Amino acid sequence: MCRLFALSADSPVTARFWLLDAPHSLRDQSRYNADGTGIGWIDEEGAATVAKRPVAAYSSDRFERAATSLTARTMIAHIRLSSGTGSERENTHPFLMDGIITAHNGVLQVTDELRERVRSLGAGHLVQGSTDSEWMAALIAGEVAQRETARGLRRVAHEPAGPGEHDAEAEARDRALHDGLVAALGWIARHVPVYSVNLLVARDHHLYAVRLPATNELWVLDRDAGQGADAALEQESETMRAHSDDLRDVHSVVIASEPMDDDEGWRLLDPGELVHVDPDGHLTSEAPFGELAHPLRIEDLGLSAAASQAHDAAAKERAERRTALQGASEREAA
Residue 160 counted as domain residue: no
Q: What local confidence, expressed as pLDDT, does residue 225 receive?
A: 73
- Residue type at 252? S
DSSP secondary structure code for residue 78 in this structure: E
Residue 132 counted as domain residue: no
Per-residue pLDDT of the chain (334 residues; tens, 9 = 90+): 578 889 999 998 877 666 666 656 666 666 555 566 888 999 988 899 998 776 665 556 776 777 677 788 998 988 766 555 556 677 887 999 999 999 999 999 999 999 999 999 999 999 999 899 999 999 999 999 999 999 887 554 444 445 555 688 889 999 999 999 999 999 999 999 999 999 999 999 999 999 999 999 999 999 887 654 333 444 443 333 333 456 667 899 999 988 877 788 999 999 999 999 999 999 999 999 999 999 998 776 654 454 445 544 455 455 555 566 556 555 555 5
DSSP secondary structure code for residue 172 in this structure: H
> What's the whole-model pTM score?
0.81
67-90 residue pLDDT tens: 677 788 998 988 766 555 556 677
Number of other CB atoms surrounding residue 326 within 10 Å: 14
Q: How big is the chain by its Cα radius of gyration, in Å?
A: 19
- Residue type at 289? F
Q: What is the mean pLDDT of the chain?
A: 79
Closest CA to 200 of 288, 133, 150: 133
**Long-range contact set of residues 211-215: C-beta below 8 Å, sequence gap at least 24:** 211/269, 211/270, 211/271, 211/272, 211/273, 212/185, 212/271, 212/272, 212/289, 212/292, 213/271, 213/272, 213/291, 213/292, 213/295, 214/271, 215/106, 215/309
Residue 38 near residue 92, CB atoms below 8 Å:
yes
Residue 259 counted as domain residue: yes
Residue 169 counted as domain residue: no
Closest CA to 273 of 249, 255, 258: 255
Residues contacting 235, CB < 8 A, separation 6+: 22, 23, 241, 242, 261, 262, 263
The dihedral over CA atoms of 228, 231, 233, 234, expressed in degrees to the nearest 10, equals -70
Compute the distance between CA of residue 296 and CA of residue 216 in angstroms, rounded to an integer: 13
Domain that holds residue 75: 3-108+198-333
Residue 326 counted as domain residue: yes
Residue 73 counted as domain residue: yes
Residue 48 counted as domain residue: yes
Residue 44 counted as domain residue: yes
Max CA pair span of the chain: 60
Q: What local confidence, expressed as pLDDT, does residue 62 receive?
A: 72
Closest CA to 200 of 128, 140, 247: 140
Domain count, the chain: 1
The CATH number of residue 36's host domain is 3.60.20.10
Residue 215 near residue 250, CB atoms below 8 Å:
no
Q: What local confidence, expressed as pLDDT, does residue 234 receive?
A: 47
